[in-house]
A and B are shown apart, each in its own frame.
Chain A
């Protein structure tokens, strides 16, 4: 072909050939310009393969053919446009309500107990821990991510892994999922060394903080693919896919994943992690960057798993931990600052409680409380309310009403305000951070 064009090119005065050549050049330059401008303006996320440079090389070096291939196959429609159409044309799919979610979770986990599940016969470690981390260390180019992390997650718990950004939560979860390796220390999942590979991973479901799916697949296709990697097939797989879609509220969605909203992806992420009824579910900040409704949906799904599997749930959102977790570890700079049940954690802060009492003369009561041994501080609240911080809530509940009686005051309201997790979190980490 090169030879042919070269020979034609020596006869520029031939009108037919000249016209043909000019047309060819116009087409060639036009296509190239169109492709290059489109490539320049288009974000990488909307280019097939996700990278512009190979397409640029293809367009420039393979003239006419390269631009045509790029224009036909290299461009993807913007996800937002698809999502926007989805939201405009059909109701936004929502997950099922909590009772139905619980029923769906029941079906997923009941099926896994039948023996098809590769992890059905596996027991947790002798200590009863689903996760055991001992003195785990990990550094990235000199920056310490985990600094002697030691942790034990009881089987069957919904375990909150709490910490500020950069504390080492994601690194821990990636090590547990087998995607990264610890520099030192012991990492055991359900009684097995995490380095055992596929055997361990067959027992675990994992949702990363930003789940990335194959954009060309639909939700059922992705779940089928995920299930097949766990050795599921046939009717059993189809049942599980249908159940997981119900759980995620994606049963009626036919859109490709590339057009999903963030919330839909997050729910699909939970569904794919549950497809095989895992013994351990690792969730890395599953509610971050979700709107309040999406966050509630995901938390409802997690809550529906209580008692069915062990959930290890990392987050920096305290309210999420309070809502769904029964045990919590607080991580800071790669080390566990504290680990206990949520109620115990609140109590452990020196037994400190806050009382609010409303009387007709709060000033007199405040004076009278000055010498009480169980009082740490008093503070005037709004509308005649006195806020009392105390070391011994039992003594306070016994003696405070009696004191009000002795002073002849009218008691209008008396309540014990529990410290919330945020108070505990700030109390634990305050002062450690510059």
Chain B
């Protein structure tokens, strides 16, 4: 793939110097900080609420580190994935529309390198961002509660990362097919919603990527989790999306 290294370098610098740096890492950081803090403050707030209101009382069980981790994974599965879908709808199509892709691809940069470089750079953001966010979440949780099942958090987040990278590959494909970033984002939201629906059924949650977020939650709770099937499906779907995106982009006029 001619030109992958310099293009990847450009993409990483673009991430560091533009709005891209703020969106996904921002959501990851927000989830990492807010989850343990909210879990920690909730009983206190409700206690004060009860004290202020005679005859009104809500008693919650004492929050634990595990609840903090579950809240964190919940935020990753909802808020952060949604941000990812919205932010990366124009990952390829945006450059084509703005004309920057034309000037770049008139140079000896392979079309495959362009597509893979786009995915790889943002995959790196997801991986590094998720690692740092998880570390922050674990440290804050330890500070506010106790260490809890911290060892189970890493594999659970790894499953989330695999799911996010697959979703990113889907967005790359949608962005190659649909020139308008808004259309690609819309189709991405549709895909995300379809996966949520599939996750509701036992069969589909075991053999499609849809089951991976729930598997992550099960892993962190120490429950038996059916994660192998969904993980394999996630890798296959992600790889297939990238291959199709490359093949389609090769034939596309810029």
B158 within 8 A of A: no
**B87: chain A residues within 8 A (beta carbon):** 54, 58
Q: Shortest distance in angstroms between A84's beta carbon and chain B's nearest beta carbon? A: 22
State the CA gap A351–B44 with chains docked (Å): 99
Given contacts A54-B182, A54-B185, A226-B107, contact A180 B90 (CB under 8 A): no
Q: How large is the interface on A (under 10, 10 to 19, 20 to 34, 35 or more residues)?
A: 35 or more
- Binary CB contact string for chain B from 84 to 106 against chain A (1 if under 8 A, 0 otherwise): 00110110001001111011111
**Interfacial residues of chain A within 59-110, with CB under 8 A of chain B in the complex:** 61-62, 65, 69, 72-74
**Interfacial residues of chain B within 100-123, with CB under 8 A of chain A in the complex:** 100, 102-110
Given contacts A14-B53, A198-B2, A216-B17, contact A210 B98 (CB under 8 A): no
A197 within 8 A of B: yes
Tell me whether B109 and A51 are in contact (CB under 8 A): no
**B100: chain A residues within 8 A (beta carbon):** 212-214
Tell me whether B6 and A58 are in contact (CB under 8 A): no
- Among A199-207, A342-350, A392-400, the one that faces the other chain is A199-207
State the CA gap A118–B107 with chains docked (Å): 12
Within 8 Å by CB of B23, from A73, A180, A206, A214, lies A73
State the CA gap A235–B239 with chains docked (Å): 38
**B97: chain A residues within 8 A (beta carbon):** 50
Q: How many residues of B contact A (CB 8 A)?
A: 55
**B192: chain A residues within 8 A (beta carbon):** none
**B204: chain A residues within 8 A (beta carbon):** none
**B45: chain A residues within 8 A (beta carbon):** 4, 7-8
Q: Shortest distance in angstroms between A281's beta carbon and chain B's nearest beta carbon? A: 12
Tell me whether B22 and A72 are in contact (CB under 8 A): yes
State the CA gap A125–B110 with chains docked (Å): 24
- Select from chain B the residue with minimum beta-carbon distance to A65: B30
Tell me whether A50 and B94 are in contact (CB under 8 A): yes
Tell me whether A229 and B53 are in contact (CB under 8 A): no
State the CA gap A318–B184 with chains docked (Å): 43
Tell me whether A211 and B103 are in contact (CB under 8 A): yes
Tell me whether B90 and A229 are in contact (CB under 8 A): no
Tell me whether A180 and B108 are in contact (CB under 8 A): no
State the CA gap A51–B97 with chains docked (Å): 10
B253 within 8 A of A: yes
B27 within 8 A of A: yes
Q: Shortest distance in angstroms between A100's beta carbon and chain B's nearest beta carbon? A: 26
B7 within 8 A of A: yes
Given contacts A73-B23, A212-B100, A214-B100, contact A51 B90 (CB under 8 A): yes
A251 within 8 A of B: no
- A residues sitting closer than 8 Å to B (CB atoms) are 1, 3-4, 7-8, 10-11, 13-14, 16-17, 48-51, 53-54, 57-58, 61-62, 65, 69, 72-74, 118, 174, 177-181, 197-199, 201-202, 204, 206, 208, 210-214, 216, 225-226, 228-231, 269, 272
List the 9 closest A-B pairs by CB distance, nearest first: A212-B99, A53-B182, A228-B6, A48-B19, A73-B22, A73-B19, A198-B108, A206-B106, A229-B107
- B residues sitting closer than 8 Å to A (CB atoms) are 2-3, 6-7, 9-10, 14, 17-19, 21-23, 26-27, 30, 34, 38, 41-42, 45-46, 49, 52-53, 56, 58, 71, 79, 82-83, 86-87, 89-90, 94, 97-100, 102-110, 180-182, 185, 253-254
| 11 chain-A/chain-B pairs, Cβ below 8 angstroms | A10-B56, A49-B181, A73-B18, A118-B108, A197-B108, A198-B3, A206-B106, A212-B103, A213-B100, A216-B17, A231-B108
Known: A4-B46, A73-B21. 4 other contacts (CB 8 A): A7-B58, A50-B94, A53-B181, A212-B99
